[in-house]
Copies of this chain bind each other. A is one copy, B any other.
Amino acid sequence: MSSQPPRRATRADVARLAGVSDSTVSYALTGDRPISDETRERIERAMAELGYVPHARAAALASKKPSLVALHFPVGERGIDISDLNYVNAASDRAEEEGIQMLMWTHDVTDIEALRRLVTQGLVDGLILMELRQDDARVEYLTTTRLPFVAIGRTRESEELSYIDADFDAWGPMAVNHLSDLGHVEVALVSQPSEVVESGYGPVVLTESSLNAQAKRRGMTVHQVNARANIRAGREAVEQLLRQHPGITAVIGFNAPAMIGVLEELAAQGRRVPEDVSIVHFGISPEQAEMTVPAQTTISAPGGELGDVAMALLIERMTNPDSPIRHILAPPVMVDRGSTGPARRR
């Protein structure tokens, strides 16, 4: 390992060694104006020799252009999985295309004090919010701030908020119609813990209500259970559901760990999927859906699109604070993995 030089080389060091002026070095770097091949060559040699690394934060200070944004990814009860990574990577890729770095910030949604520190320290030029609540304290706080931000997800009153979100109002009907077309008339919904619903978590609230509305229209009965996000809770939930409502022919899931338990319990009871019970699962990634036995048919948002568009929205707002508020809804995508079939005859 080479011994560490005492301090990092600066543009001035490079300029001196190359025998040119400071700004020439800058321009050689950015290519913002023509440089003769010869001086460019000298500059590059000097940079290499000094191990010169431009200091992006100083550049950002001087140019007043955005260089660093954060994605607020509150890793709450459920953690981060590969499906979330689709968002994250898409957003980050989009940022890098624009020469902006994106880092993740993982504090709890409710930790407004930490958010305040992040913002008031002026460490980032913009923020993307995820896991929006219907009433979201972060949004309230950030609107009192000059920091540009957009959301993946939305609040109840979101007129003033730029966001992209999955069109959850279409999720429920998509599931109901699919199952109803297959002849199912009595189904179970294994949803998320009641705290999550009560805290006003948009996806669940919107999906549940669109599902119930459409079920009513199609004459379908829905028995809902709010299960904790673990395997055991899923087993217990489905055991009880099937005991109390033997007419159930399909389970709609919105809770990945619990649905593992549901599948376990069905297998333990000797019920086959999809011959005896059909399964549809909201919002999980292909990886999660393929992981279980059997694989699950899913209805979800289009992977990276949300992240990509969100970053584009943020960049627009950072570049031009007067750019219009945007609301974008991404339609759901259903992937059939064979876990649904015609309803068992009653």
Contacts and interface: CB of A to CB of B under 8 A. Distances in A.
Contact of A123 (B101, B107, B114, B291): B101
A85 interface: yes
B54 A121 contact: yes
Contacts of A179: none
Nearest to A105: B103
Contacts of A268: 267-268
B70 A122 contact: no
Interface in A229-279: 230-232, 235, 257, 260-261, 264, 267-268
Interface residues of A, number: 64
Main secondary structure of the interface of A (DSSP, over half): mixed
Nearest to A160: B1
Contact of A121 (B56, B82, B105): B56
Contact of A101 (B53, B92, B118, B293): B118
B121 A292 contact: no
Q: Which of A53, A105, A144 has the most CB of B within 10 A?
A: A53
Given A54-B121, A60-B57, A231 B291 contact: yes
Interface in A70-104: 70, 73, 75, 77, 79-82, 84-85, 88-89, 92, 96, 101, 103-104
A194 interface: no
Contacts of A54: 120-122
Contacts of A105: 103-104
A306 interface: no
A31 interface: no
